[in-house]
Structure 1
Amino acid sequence: MKITQLSCFIENRPGRLHAACMALAARGVNIRTLSLADTAEFGILRLIVADPEAGKAALEAAGYTVRLTDVIAVEVPDDAGGLARVLAETDAAGLNIEYMYAFSTAVGRNAVVIIRFSDPDRAVAELSRHSISIVKPVTLLER
């Protein structure tokens, strides 16, 4: 199952990340996980939030450029080689990964890796075929 992610273009200067988070907070949009990649002048803030449409509206109202993209959340064993085993399957299937980021809720439990594939629909089919656990959106977004 695919999950909707917000991709927000953000200036690389003091206060802009705080302002984006405040825009979401003011609308009651809870952030589940995020990643920030930067260059000298701007960055891309990628977020999984409880309500993607409300998050997009909140950030756009605050003057940010936001795009919705499909990503896949995959459970990965939290042990040495856990990610490598999953990536072996994606490589064998010829899946192209554009970027990824991860989080874990507790040491020793499964981590969750957010992956942007160039072909998300094919990725879901291939991962499922290889019994790789895909996190359902409702599970990721629950409190």
Structure 2
Amino acid sequence: MPTDSSPAVVEIWTDGGCKPNPGPGGWAALLRWGGHERELSGGEAETTNNRMELTAAAAALEALSRPCSVRLHTDSEYVRNGITRWSTGWVRRNWRSASGDPVKNMDLWRRLLDASARHQIEWLWVRGHSGDEGNERVDRLATQARDRAAGQPQ
């Protein structure tokens, strides 16, 4: 991932999903920097859409070898709102929602916050299936990862 000699700005697209939800799921990320690209993907046999969306974002940020300026594109309002609006309150309330319930997917939210801490990140929401090339690409990769997790032939 970006080395000391490469530009510090990284464009990232992430996606995740399940079919059915819950069920087999896949996630994917596309990282672009300085004329380079890297694809990441994975899946789980039993998971949820939200867990796959969170995993994609965390894995992408964890792949960066040094602090970077990041523009992270996600089609998940859950991820974008959670990281930019809700997480501060969750942490302040000891990982409880405003209603006092434990935060769902707390393990992955903690992972994402840890992965985010060393980077300057602009969290961008993009409408899914709207022609955004990066989003369409990670959607295809996440679907392939989901199919592998479900044991479907490629």
Shorter-chain TM band: under 0.3
Q: Give me the TM-score of the superposition, normalised by structure 2.
A: 0.27
More strand by share: 1
More helix by share: 2
